[in-house]
Structure 1
Amino acid sequence: MIVLGVILLILGFVFSISILWTIGLILVLIGVVLWVLGAVGHAVGGRNHYW
């Protein structure tokens, strides 16, 4: 999710498409939140860890 978000951020920046920039930023933020929650031991989506 983080990698897809970064790719969308780059594409949105290069092609000046603001919706790609916005979606990429949201995906990066959600990915980081899920990663941190999984790293501290909280169950995310029924799993004890999240990759």
Structure 2
Amino acid sequence: MAPVGGTAVQDHVALAEIELCGELIIAASAADEDRLSLESIDEVLKVAEERGASAG
């Protein structure tokens, strides 16, 4: 039996990955093409922003 109360464990990395996957699914379903381009994927995942933040 599961304990009652505030014993929920949150894995913040896993939650972030799930959120990113959701963003990709939304972008893919809204895309006009059959597949997202690499540039579109980078835009959804904010790759350029991350690179800029880690460089500066």
- Tell me which interval the TM-score lies in, with the shorter structure as reference length: 0.3 to 0.5
Q: State the TM-score, normalizing by the size of structure 2.
A: 0.43
Q: State the TM-score, normalizing by the size of structure 1.
A: 0.47
Structure in which a larger fraction of residues adopt helix: 1
